[in-house]
A and B are shown apart, each in its own frame.
Chain A
Amino acid sequence: MGLNAGYILKRVGFALVTLYVAITVNFLLPRLMGGDIADTIASEMALGSPEVAAALREQFGLDNTNLFYQYKQYLVQLFQGNMGVSYVNYPAPVTEVMLSALPWTLGTVLIATILSYGIGWMIGIKGAWKSGSLFDNISLFVSFFLNSVPYFWIGIIMIMIFSFHLDLFPLGKAIPHDFDSLSFMGKITTIIHHAALPVISMIIASLAGHILVLRNNLIRVLSEDYMLLAKAKGLSNRRRKYTYGARNALLPSFTGLMITLGHVIGGALTMEIVFSYPGVGLVTFNAILNHDFPLIQGAFLFIAISVIIANLIADLMYPIIDPRVALQ
C-alpha cells in the first residue's frame, strides 16, 4: 500500500499552514485587544531592568510602530527560539520555562489518551455488539454523565478520595522534595506514583467521548452488508466482532481522536492546576495570575505546536491502518 508522496506532502503542507495560522494568531490577538504591546512583551516594571526591556523591544521591533516590521521581527525571533522573557521566572526565557514544563504535560496527556482510547474502545464495542442490553444502557448513561462533568472537578474528587481520605497517592506535584537523593528506580517509581492520579482522572474524564463515538461507529458498521456476509460465512463471533467490525469502527474515529486530543490538552491544563502538576497548565495558570503576558503567549504557541505535530503524526499513520486513504 506504499505511502503516497502526494498524500504526505498534502498533510505536511496542511500542518505547516496551521502552524503559520497559530503563530499569526499569537502575534495578532494581543495587538487586536488594544493593549500596549510594548508593555506586555517588554514591561520594565515586570522585568525590573530597563536594559533588558529595551533590548527586548529592539529584538521584537517594538520601537517601530509599523505592524509589518513588528511581524517580521516577531517571526525572526521565533525562528531563533526566542519568545521573550518570562516576568515570573525572570530572567529565564519563555522557551526555557515552557520546555521544562512540556514533557510533564505531554507524558501524562499521551498516556492518558492512549489508555482512555483503548478502554473506551472496549466498552463502546461491547455496548454496540449487544446494543440495547443492560450493559449498553448503563455505559451510555455513565458516558452522558461523565461528558457533563468538568475535568478539574473529577481531579478534585479523586484527590479528595484517594489522596486525602485514603492516603494512597500524593496530594500533588510531580516529584517529592528529596527527588535528587533517590536511586534511579526510586525516581521512576515516585514519578509514576505522582502521575498516577492525574492520569487516571484524565482517563475518566475523557473516556465518555471515546465510548460514545466508537459505539455509534460500530452500530453503523454492524448494519453493513459485509457484516451479514461474515455471519453467513459462519465466522466465529470473535472474528466478526474484532476483525470485521471493531477495526472498521475504529477507523473513522481515528481522525476524531486528534480533535479529542485538543480537548484533552484543554482539560489537562485545568487538571494540572488541581494536582499542582508542573506542566504547561500550571505554568499558564501562574502566568495568568501574575499577568505574565510573554509566558501566556508562549504557552499558547507550545500547546498549538504540540497538537499540530500530534495531528500530523496521526495523519501520516492513517494510511497504514486504513488502506483506502493511501489511494485517494
Chain B
Amino acid sequence: MKKLKSILAYLWELIPGTKGVLGLAIIFCFIVIAIFGSYIAPYEKNYIAFEAWLSPSFTHWLGTDSYGQDILSQMIYGTQTSLLVAIVAGSITTCIGVLVGIVAGYKGGWIGEGLMRIVDLFLIIPTLALMIILASFLPSMGVTNTILIIGLLSWLYMARSIRSQTMSERESGYVEAARMAGMGDLEIMFREIMPNIIPVILANLVLVTTQAVLAEAGLSFLGLGDPSAVSWGTILSLAHANNAVLFNAWWWILPPGLAIACLCFGFILVGNGILDRFQANRGNAAL
C-alpha cells in the first residue's frame, strides 16, 4: 500500500503544469463515463424504436439517427469500446515498443542494427495499409481483433524513439557501474535503464494511445470494425453510410468526432506536459 502510494506520488510528479492537469482531467472524465456508462446513458444500448432523424431536444439531447437510436446513449456506450481499444492497444504497443527499443539500443551490434533495419523497412509501409490487409483477411472482426491488429502494428516509431534514448543512457555512469557490479544484461536493461527513461516511455505511451483511438476510428470507417460493437468510429461510419450530411444531421456527425478529438487532445496535453517537464529530446515526434 505504501509502495503504491509512492508510485502514485511519483506519477503525479511526472504530470506537470496546467496543460498536464487539464489533459488528465479530460481523460478522467472519459474514464468515468466509460465505467458508469450503463447508469448514465438515458436509454438502453441499441434500442431502435425511436423516431428516426430527430434533432436534439430535451428527450434526446443529441437527437436520433436513421435507425431511431438515441445518439447520446450510443455515444456513451461507444466511449467504453473506444477507450478500451485505446488503452489496451496502446499498452500492447508500448510493451513491444519498449522491449524492442531497449534491446536494440542496449545491445547494439548485429542484434540492435538488425532490429532497427527491420523497423525501418516496415516504417515505410503505411501502417493503415498493413492494418487493412490484415483485418480484411481475418475470418471475423471483433473488438479483440481490432485491439490486436492496432496493438501489434503500431510500435515501430516508438521503438525507434526508445532506442535512441536507451543509446544515450547506455553511455552514462550508472550503467557502467551496474556492469562493473556484475549485473546481467537483462537486469541492466529493465532494472537500471528502463526506470530512467520513464518520461520518454510515458510520452510515447500517450502518443500511441491517441494513434490507437484514431486507428480504431479509421478501421471502423473503412468497414473493418466490429459490426456489432458500438464505438465512436462505428457511429461516424454509420452516419456517413446513411448520408447524414444530406439530412443535415449535424448532431450525428459532430459528437463522435469531437469525442475522439477531446480524448486525443487530453492525451496529447499530458504527453506534451511530460516532455516539457523533462526537457526530453523530442526527435521528430509531433508532440
Contacts and interface: CB of A to CB of B under 8 A. Distances in A.
| A–B in direct contact per CB < 8 Å | yes
Interface residues of A, number: 66
Given A150-B214, A156-B257, 11 more contacts: A17-B121, A35-B137, A144-B268, A148-B267, A149-B264, A171-B246, A216-B282, A269-B128, A288-B136, A296-B132, A307-B125
Interface string B187-222: 000000000000000000000001000100110011
A180 B223 CA distance: 33
A320 to B, nearest CB: 21
Contacts of A263: 126
Nearest to B243: A171
B222 A288 contact: yes
Given A29-B134, A33-B139, A300-B132, A148 B157 contact: no
Interface stretch (A51-59, A94-102, A205-213): A205-213
B136 A273 contact: no
Interface string A242-277: 000000000011011011001101110110011000
A311 B218 CA distance: 24
A149 B126 contact: no
B218 A270 contact: yes
A270 B245 contact: no
Interface in B81-130: 120-130
Contacts of A308: 124-125
A149 B268 contact: no
Contacts, number: 174
A78 to B, nearest CB: 15
Nearest to B23: A144
- Judged by DSSP, the binding face of A is helix
29 contacts: A18-B121, A21-B121, A29-B133, A29-B134, A30-B137, A33-B134, A33-B139, A145-B261, A148-B262, A152-B240, A153-B257, A156-B239, A160-B250, A213-B284, A258-B124, A265-B126, A266-B126, A266-B127, A267-B128, A269-B129, A270-B222, A273-B221, A274-B240, A285-B223, A289-B223, A293-B136, A296-B137, A300-B132, A300-B133
A148 B210 contact: yes
A304 B125 contact: yes
Pick from B126, B157, B246 the residue with the most CB of A within 10 Å: B126
A198 B182 CA distance: 60
Interface residues of B, number: 54
A148 B257 CA distance: 9
Given A145-B265, A164-B245, A284 B221 contact: no
B274 interface: no
Contacts of A299: 129, 132
Interface of B: 120-130, 132-134, 136-139, 157, 210, 214, 217-218, 221-224, 233, 236, 239-240, 245-246, 248, 250, 253-254, 256-257, 260-265, 267-269, 272, 282, 284-287
Contacts of A73: none
Given A153-B257, A156-B253, A262-B125, A25 B222 contact: no
B123 A259 contact: yes
Nearest to B217: A150
Contacts of B260: 148-150, 153
Contacts of B221: 150, 152, 270, 273
Contact of B218 (A34, A259, A266, A297): A266
Contacts of B285: 213, 216
A139 to B, nearest CB: 13
Contacts of B254: 157
Nearest to B247: A164
A34 B123 CA distance: 26
B138 to A, nearest CB: 6
